[in-house]
A and B are shown apart, each in its own frame.
Chain A
Amino acid sequence: MKLLTHNLLSSHVRGVGPRGFPLRLQATEVRISPVEFNPDFVARMIPKLHLVEVPKEPIQGYEHDERFLRQMHHVLLEVDVLEGTLQCPESGRLFPISRGIPNMLLSDEETET
């Protein structure tokens, strides 16, 4: 699971709603793998991210700042969580990550209607 994916995931436990984000990540096995750098893709993903910590000075013209884009590329796309857990911040429910795949299935009682 890449960190870009993690940023899009949200807990769907019943009653949790928008408080289900972000899922707390505990990684027990991580792999760094190179991914081809696509600055346009990274630039387009950045506004989609829900960043909990926002820099004090907003980065103007980040789309053209190659160093910044490369850093974001590395963090979002080259870090792969192979084993670990995701935890709903509101309910505490744990979702396993195994072989790089998060399993977000809920039981019937937990599902939002």
Chain B
Amino acid sequence: IGCDHSQNLVDICREKHYQAFVCDALAVPIRSGSCDACISIAVIHHFATAERRVAALQELVRLLRPGGKALIYVWAMEQEYNKKKSKYLRENRISQGKKEEISSDTSVQELLVKQMPDVGNQDSAPSVPSINDFQDRGCNSREVTNFKLPIHTNRTSFHCQDVLVPWHLKENPGKGKPIEPFGPLGSHDPGPVFHRYYHVFCEGEMEAACQTLSNISILQSYYDQGNWCVILQKV
């Protein structure tokens, strides 16, 4: 059974004949201890605070029966590891010569994010992050009233753990669905651009977050194509 906050993504599961429902990963409407295994793939890196990321882990573990296992994948800050670039970096369409020119002047565009008390959870993919959840975290970890997040330049390395990643919705005459999430840099796309919040994880960070839970043991912890991955077991 699958679940996601996005109705549209769940619709796609349904089209493929999978059982799925819409819910919040911090409040999963499944009986405690009923799952032999859970997977959380590219989810937890969308939560904007450390507390919420841990809360998402707690929910995941709540669902497991004792002895049940969970697989967690989150985006890594380190997109190049052991001298190998991840697929995300390698699929950069800009030629090597031009890449430096672009990253020096456009990689730190800042989007002013103000505290807005009545922004509720938005449904649909991709969605604007819940702005009222941001705390004073950023590259500098200073207290700021107007919180700034850098807009990441797609297919380049991360310079900051908390970023907004552009997502180009391409108009496809056949379906109205996006062809690819990362449009080529510098192209003139007619479609809208959405900025999706990510907290990319440093080496060991996901493990440390898991270790705050008292009822699990970490079976494996590894790096896979630009992701930090953990397999844990509920004791």
| Cross-chain contact B29 with A104 (CB below 8 angstroms) | yes
Tally of A-B Cβ pairs under 8 angstroms: 64
Q: Taking the nearest CB of chain A, how far is it from the CB of B27, in angstroms?
A: 4
Contact pick for A104, options B11, B14, B22, B123, CB 8 Å: B22
Q: Would you call B26 an interface residue if the criterion is a C-beta within 8 Å of the partner chain's C-beta atoms? A: yes
| Cross-chain contact B27 with A103 (CB below 8 angstroms) | no
| Cross-chain contact B1 with A8 (CB below 8 angstroms) | yes
| Cross-chain contact B20 with A12 (CB below 8 angstroms) | no
| Cross-chain contact B10 with A101 (CB below 8 angstroms) | yes
Query: What residues of chain A have their CB less than 8 Å away from a CB belonging to chain B?
Result: 1-2, 4-5, 8-12, 18, 20-21, 48, 50, 99-108, 111-112
Query: What residues of chain B have their CB less than 8 Å away from a CB belonging to chain A?
Result: 1, 3, 5, 7, 10-11, 14, 19-24, 26-32, 34, 120-121, 123
| Cross-chain contact B11 with A9 (CB below 8 angstroms) | no
Question: Whole-angstrom distance between the alpha carbons of A101 and B200 in the complex?
Answer: 31
Q: Taking the nearest CB of chain A, how far is it from the CB of B16, in angstroms?
A: 12
Q: Which 5 pairs between the two chains have the least Cβ-Cβ distance?
A: A104-B23, A104-B29, A102-B21, A103-B22, A12-B27
Residues of B within 8 A of A11 (CB): 29
| Cross-chain contact A99 with B11 (CB below 8 angstroms) | yes
Question: Whole-angstrom distance between the alpha carbons of A108 and B22 in the complex?
Answer: 15
| Cross-chain contact B14 with A99 (CB below 8 angstroms) | yes
Residues of A within 8 A of B30 (CB): 8-10
| Cross-chain contact A48 with B123 (CB below 8 angstroms) | no
| Given A103-B21, A103-B22, A104-B21: A12 in contact with B28 (beta carbons within 8 A) | yes
Contact pick for B34, options A8, A101, A112, CB 8 Å: A8
| Cross-chain contact B31 with A106 (CB below 8 angstroms) | no
Contact pick for B31, options A4, A50, A102, A104, CB 8 Å: A50
Residues of B within 8 A of A102 (CB): 21-22
Question: Whole-angstrom distance between the alpha carbons of A43 and B187 in the complex?
Answer: 55
| Cross-chain contact B29 with A10 (CB below 8 angstroms) | yes
Question: Whole-angstrom distance between the alpha carbons of A102 and B32 in the complex?
Answer: 19
The closest CB in chain A to the CB of B3 belongs to A104
Residues of B within 8 A of A107 (CB): 120
The closest CB in chain A to the CB of B24 belongs to A105
The closest CB in chain A to the CB of B1 belongs to A5
Residues of A within 8 A of B31 (CB): 8-10, 21, 50
| Cross-chain contact B10 with A108 (CB below 8 angstroms) | no
Q: Taking the nearest CB of chain A, how far is it from the CB of B77, in angstroms?
A: 29
Q: Taking the nearest CB of chain A, how far is it from the CB of B183, in angstroms?
A: 29
Residues of B within 8 A of A101 (CB): 7, 10-11, 14, 20-22
| Given A100-B14, A105-B121: A5 in contact with B27 (beta carbons within 8 A) | no
Contact pick for B19, options A2, A48, A105, CB 8 Å: A2
| Cross-chain contact A12 with B7 (CB below 8 angstroms) | no
| Cross-chain contact A111 with B19 (CB below 8 angstroms) | no
